[in-house]
């Protein structure tokens, strides 16, 4: 009988891996498409984004704070964070953008986690009820919470906003949940980098970025491509480790 059960998790694992790979590639494609659209419609966008950027930066310390709080609220409200992450790169550049976006994402995801654990537990449980992927993940988290959450952050098996709430139902400790947020950094760096390039494209299309030469644009492109490749590699490694951990949890609990 055990031989009949084993192929099931393996097939489910392969299906999950394919879905995660497709989801990551879709996100990268969306980011590239946004940059392409900015290139095509840059002159129109340029009339608005620089004004918004100027307003945010004109607030001094309050500008980044407003961005962080708005981003965190968007995460709690299930608003996709990818657009705001791209905007963070366009507004603040790569270094500051990564810092602000990461702080905002940790804040928003932690609020979602606490809401699920202490306020909306029943509603979240109904939302993920019957999801075989999360059932396996929940069992694995019971054994090694911090590592599993870290791998989940690296590998897009679950949508980010839903995962924040779903993890509130598990036994992972709050401190481990927050520390494991470091797994969000590769994806954050990727999206902020895309946003930075997109912002430069908008500036160039609006006539504000004419000082960049072909060599600089080529360097930006190479840097972005390298970031994409590294992120894909990290995600693939994390997904493989995650698949092994969940498969092990399934095998342990199988009769």
- Give the angle subtended at the CA of 35 by the CAs of 32 and 39, to the nearest 5°: 140
Tokens at 219, concatenated:
């360097």
Contact 156, 23 (CB under 8 A): yes
Q: By mean pLDDT, which of 71-80, 131-140, 231-240 is the weakest?
A: 231-240
CA distance 55 to 62: 11
Average pLDDT over residues 211-224: 57
Tokens at 4, concatenated:
């009949």
pLDDT given at position 123:
83
Instruction: Write the CB contacts of 238 (distance below 8 Å, at least 6 apart in sequence).
Output: 151, 154, 155, 183
pLDDT band at 126 (very low <50, low <70, confident <90, very high): confident
Average pLDDT over residues 91-115: 93
In 100-141, where do the E strands start and end?
Answer: none
Return the exposure string of 44-67: e unless at least 16 CB atoms fall within 10 Å of the residue's CB, then b. Answer: ebbeebbeebeebeeeeeebbeeb
Tokens at 165, concatenated:
């709430």
Average pLDDT over residues 95-120: 93
pTM of the model: 0.67
Contact 90, 53 (CB under 8 A): yes
pLDDT band at 245 (very low <50, low <70, confident <90, very high): low
Q: Taking the CB of residue 203, how many other CB atoms lie within 10 A of it? A: 21
Average pLDDT over residues 196-205: 67
């Amino acid at each position: 009988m055990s031989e009949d059960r084993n192929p099931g998790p393996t097939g489910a694992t392969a299906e999950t891996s394919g879905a995660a790979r497709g989801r990551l590639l879709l996100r990268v494609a969306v980011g590239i498409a946004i940059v392409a659209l900015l290139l095509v419609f840059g002159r129109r966008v340029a009339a608005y984004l620089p004004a918004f950027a100027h307003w945010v930066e004109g607030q001094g310390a309050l500008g980044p704070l407003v961005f962080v709080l708005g981003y965190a609220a968007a995460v709690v409200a299930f608003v996709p964070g990818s657009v705001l992450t791209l905007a963070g790169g366009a507004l603040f550049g790569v270094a500051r953008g990564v810092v602000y976006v990461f702080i905002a994402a940790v804040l928003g995801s932690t609020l979602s986690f606490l809401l699920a654990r202490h306020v909306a537990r029943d509603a979240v449980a109904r939302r993920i009820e019957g999801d075989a992927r999360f059932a396996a993940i929940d069992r694995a988290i019971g054994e090694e919470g911090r590592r599993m959450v870290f791998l989940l952050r690296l590998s897009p098996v679950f949508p980010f906003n839903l995962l924040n709430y779903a993890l509130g139902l598990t036994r992972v400790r709050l401190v481990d949940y927050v520390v494991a947020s470091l797994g969000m950094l590769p994806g954050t760096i990727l999206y902020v980098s895309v946003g930075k390039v997109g912002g430069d494209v908008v500036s160039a299309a609006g006539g504000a970025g004419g000082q960049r030469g072909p060599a600089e644009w080529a360097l930006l492109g190479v840097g972005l491509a390298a970031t994409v490749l590294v992120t894909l590699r990290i995600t693939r490694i994390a997904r493989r480790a995650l698949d092994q951990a969940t498969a092990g949890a399934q095998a342990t609990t199988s009769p």
